Structure 1
């Protein structure tokens, strides 16, 4: 993939100069009525009848939800202006040949239909209830058979004992998790208490020193005033008093060796502090707490772990020196707090200062941060042949139900894969992954991996057996190199793409056909996004300094937003079709309300280079990526950045950005995937790709020229798809 444009300069194959920065945004709000009109009036009586219909009546099970064209249950229901609903695919095929309603024969156009969200939701609910009812019936039918079978077994008591043990084990696992969470919280609060006590002692000593100095100065002033009458001796007496004060300071410095602030050499031995670390006052934020824990974590915390007495709750006695499994888990979790201690402490006090906020939110964050430590590869896909030179994967996207995922890149193909054909289980991997060199250095005698430093990463260097070869379900040939993909959140078979020639295409993934092509962009289009709350509209961003809003029912764009520099990305808010965030080469993120584009809602400034990605985390928070080697978090309504994430390397390429709940993942130009927690500025886990031998396909030691180019979380699990510039796609799982 080409490099990200910087400072508004166009880096495209056509080398066309972008529009002038003085150009004003084009106001076409009067033409956007179609996409902002309220939904068509629906047959509420029909919906109510469907909701109230007795599901147990098999004869009426499909009443009102069948498509008049295919006579099957509606899929992706669309409603016409005349009030009739059909499957989207059936209606689209009909309108390609006829321009009237199949039911009432009234005039009908593509632009007079829209998704029937309510009916589609009712259909999904009814199908779920029907499946549950049939499953319960089958279970009840099997129950008698199974019970009779168990009673007939000669070892019936053994079977019942096994089942009872399984239930008891599950209950024990849940109690174990709760114990870990409470123990971690107690450990963290003890660490914060120690930190606060040391800081309080330090500032009390500083306060005493200041008070003594003020008293000394007051005495000095009194002595000077009394000696003004003795002009011949006043200067000499003043100097003598100054020498006395100096001796007092010397005594104070000597006292500090015993009771006051420690020197740097003593800090390492006593888990102390840096005297120069609190120039900003007694705030828990900033350099002071980082300096404290960076020195304390290596010695103070390890010493506390060694000296810690494990107390039995019932007997309150010291148990055997041999650590139990729980104690080993807690010791490992406690060590993982170290790199994130400063962020955790800030988050803890921020949460506790909120009215009515308990420890539940913080405890959950603490558990998540310490629970996961690295990525484990589950499966591998090769996007292209090993011998090809153009192999960069530009985009990976899951479809609406996450049954399939699409891969697009610079080889001018979109490949569709069935996720269920991949191995996504740790227990069924077709290969074994050895420990990397860093892990071997950090592994203990029992084989458990100890926490790594921030620069280490798991890497796959060899496999015990050949990897499975995965073939795509279908391949969609494209005219140009693909830069971005976006599945339609409502119509399962629709997907949009943008390419290096500025064309935005809509594809039917069932047939592989191009449904519509938009060619208004003058230069390379970097991104395309379909609104999650209105599947009829899309936004695309281009090197021609424009963001265009499209309707899949119209042939031309509905709206154009002109920016000051090359535009790298545009993203709709997840629950608001009117909000769009735009990242561009002018180092800024701009938020627009499409109902009034003359005045942006807010502009965020803080990045030092081009903004390559923007992602919404809810409707009020934005995560941005830039080629200044950072990610940043922004809140709507606040001008300043709320958190900066650093550790990965990104100076010129698109490396991907993906969000899942509180987790943020991105690629890096050192061929590594980095994962951050939303409430910590430092990486939680990393995974380093290897390079691929063009002859054997085996992974080799890493090359500096490779970089991770795309990442995509799977929403319903702790799994992620990542791809690099050599066309290697990895299915990774975040593990403990």
Structure 2
């Protein structure tokens, strides 16, 4: 299903608008990298200067993103380094990580995590110590956490226990502020509206995306239905537009207030795993991983990918996480980082071929 106002902007060869090039490969420290170092989450901080990674290895690794463009200066070939050389520092965590979020208003000092043991942690990166711990999910795996930018005292987490818990970020213990159970199935993702609103989107294994008003956590203010299988990610593209990802092998773009599907995106392979979803909001590009070990980029205006790149061959490998660096707008160059189930990071630089991409 497509929206006619967006269709009018379509052109015959969307792939010709962008050039993407691999600029750096950050390899696992072990030549025999395996699923023990799989990357589950990538997050740039609010200044786009630091990149945090987490996953199966029980480490939060911090990279200085300002170094990424410098890796291009090698005569055109991608620079290959290992994590030990590229990583500024890392911290061990008690459990495997499924989610990371930088805390708004803390500069680049505080980062929160959700883990396989059902615990939400917060870490002070200057002191390299945990400073916050919550356990409202009964030990069931936390798939996703987020902080509100509209009200910095609010945080939320979603879990295998089927609940989304909302909590006060100033309190280190105690019961949650609100708890909702959208369906009798796991909550796979939560995201507050990053444009200052108090709506929180919740994606569930029952194939739906629910929207709640954070001021009144009773009934959802919208429900988006259309996926055939569990919803793994839900992200805000703008204040009214949400992009969701599902293990039905598709992304969907929605007008949330109107509860209307704008477009479906297909091309990647996703039938049973979390493969990441990231939106470059300024440039209108979407990216996800794939179970065929490729990273995919979609333009929001077209339902088919505009660029696909295969990771190095690895038995049973897949691209497990992606993250855009949020540069200002469509006339700019862009940076996309993708992580694999083998622990390898790849950094891609994109350049627009025409300044007439958007109007």
Q: Give your verdict on TM over 0.5.
A: yes
Check the 8 A contact 1:486/1:528 in 2, yes or no. Answer: yes
Matching residue of 1:532? 149
Matching residue of 1:379? 24
- Mapping for residues 461-610 of structure 1, pairs under 5 Å: 467-469=80-82, 470-492=85-107, 493-522=109-138, 523-554=140-171, 555-556=173-174, 557-564=176-183, 565-610=185-230
Check the 8 A contact 2:121/2:133 in 1, yes or no. Answer: yes
How far did residue 687 of structure 1 move?
Answer: 1.1
- Mapping for residues 659-674 of structure 1, pairs under 5 Å: 659-661=279-281, 662-674=284-296
| Secondary structure in 1 matching 2:66 | helix
For residues 5 and 48 of structure 2, the distance between their equivalents in structure 1, rounded to whole angstroms, comes to 36
TM-score norm. by structure 2 comes to: 0.88
Relative to structure 1, the CA distance from residue 590 to residue 608 in structure 2 (aligned partners, 3 Å threshold; closer, same or farther) is same
For residues 350 and 4 of structure 2, the distance between their equivalents in structure 1, rounded to whole angstroms, comes to 24
- Runs of 4+ with >4 A deviation: 343-346, 365-368
Check the 8 A contact 2:7/2:301 in 1, yes or no. Answer: no
Matching residue of 1:643? 263
| Secondary structure in 2 matching 1:517 | strand
How far did residue 494 of structure 1 move?
Answer: 0.8
**1:365-408 C-alpha deviation (Å, 9 max, x unpaired):** 75993543453110111345233430110111111211111111
How far did residue 420 of structure 1 move?
Answer: 2.0
How far did residue 715 of structure 1 move?
Answer: 0.9
Matching residue of 2:68? 422
Check the 8 A contact 2:114/2:143 in 1, yes or no. Answer: yes
Check the 8 A contact 1:379/1:429 in 2, yes or no. Answer: no
Check the 8 A contact 2:188/2:233 in 1, yes or no. Answer: yes
| Secondary structure in 2 matching 1:467 | strand
Q: Identify the match of residue 723 of structure 1 among 326, 330, 339.
A: 339
Of structures 1 and 2, the one with the larger relative CO (CA 8 A, separation 6+) is: 2
| Secondary structure in 2 matching 1:628 | coil
Bigger share in helix: 1
Relative to structure 1, the CA distance from residue 422 to residue 639 in structure 2 (aligned partners, 3 Å threshold; closer, same or farther) is closer
Check the 8 A contact 2:194/2:236 in 1, yes or no. Answer: yes
Check the 8 A contact 1:417/1:471 in 2, yes or no. Answer: yes
**1:265-316 C-alpha deviation (Å, 9 max, x unpaired):** xxxxxxxxxxxxxxxxxxxxx8xxxxxxxxxxxxxxxxxxxxxxxxxxxxxx
- Mapping for residues 177-256 of structure 1, pairs under 5 Å: none
For residues 367 and 416 of structure 1, the distance between their equivalents in structure 2, rounded to whole angstroms, comes to 41
For residues 125 and 279 of structure 2, the distance between their equivalents in structure 1, rounded to whole angstroms, comes to 25
Relative to structure 1, the CA distance from residue 411 to residue 384 in structure 2 (aligned partners, 3 Å threshold; closer, same or farther) is farther
How far did residue 473 of structure 1 move?
Answer: 1.6
- Residues 1:707 and 2:318 are matched in the alignment: yes
How far did residue 418 of structure 1 move?
Answer: 1.1
Relative to structure 1, the CA distance from residue 552 to residue 637 in structure 2 (aligned partners, 3 Å threshold; closer, same or farther) is closer
| Secondary structure in 1 matching 2:87 | coil
For residues 714 and 659 of structure 1, the distance between their equivalents in structure 2, rounded to whole angstroms, comes to 9
Relative to structure 1, the CA distance from residue 575 to residue 640 in structure 2 (aligned partners, 3 Å threshold; closer, same or farther) is closer
For residues 590 and 725 of structure 1, the distance between their equivalents in structure 2, rounded to whole angstroms, comes to 29
For residues 568 and 345 of structure 1, the distance between their equivalents in structure 2, rounded to whole angstroms, comes to 31
| Secondary structure in 2 matching 1:641 | strand
Relative to structure 1, the CA distance from residue 430 to residue 500 in structure 2 (aligned partners, 3 Å threshold; closer, same or farther) is farther
**1:162-220 C-alpha deviation (Å, 9 max, x unpaired):** xxxxxxxxxxxxxxxxxxxxxxxxxxxxxxxxxxxxxxxxxxxxxxxxxxxxxxxxxxx
Bigger share in strand: 2
Unaligned runs of 5+ in 1: 1-285, 287-342, 350-361, 434-465, 691-701
Q: Identify the match of residue 432 of structure 1 among 42, 67, 77.
A: 77
For residues 608 and 660 of structure 1, the distance between their equivalents in structure 2, rounded to whole angstroms, comes to 26
**1:613-663 C-alpha deviation (Å, 9 max, x unpaired):** 000011111100000000001112323311100000000000000001211
| CA RMSD of superposed structures (Å) | 2.2
Check the 8 A contact 2:318/2:340 in 1, yes or no. Answer: yes
Q: Identify the match of residue 403 of structure 1 among 37, 41, 49.
A: 49
Relative to structure 1, the CA distance from residue 576 to residue 708 in structure 2 (aligned partners, 3 Å threshold; closer, same or farther) is same
Relative to structure 1, the CA distance from residue 562 to residue 422 in structure 2 (aligned partners, 3 Å threshold; closer, same or farther) is same
**1:22-45 C-alpha deviation (Å, 9 max, x unpaired):** xxxxxxxxxxxxxxxxxxxxxxxx
Unaligned runs of 5+ in 2: 328-332, 354-359
**1:684-709 C-alpha deviation (Å, 9 max, x unpaired):** 1111100xxxxxxxxxxx24511101
For residues 226 and 259 of structure 2, the distance between their equivalents in structure 1, rounded to whole angstroms, comes to 9
- Mapping for residues 151-190 of structure 1, pairs under 5 Å: none
- Residues 1:676 and 2:298 are matched in the alignment: yes
- Residues 1:392 and 2:5 are matched in the alignment: no
For residues 299 and 190 of structure 2, the distance between their equivalents in structure 1, rounded to whole angstroms, comes to 24
Check the 8 A contact 2:105/2:152 in 1, yes or no. Answer: yes
Check the 8 A contact 2:156/2:164 in 1, yes or no. Answer: yes
Q: Bigger radius of gyration, 1 or 2?
A: 1
Check the 8 A contact 1:670/1:704 in 2, yes or no. Answer: no
How far did residue 471 of structure 1 move?
Answer: 3.4
Say how many residue pairs are matched.
337
**1:558-587 C-alpha deviation (Å, 9 max, x unpaired):** 111113211100110012352110000000
Matching residue of 1:627? 247
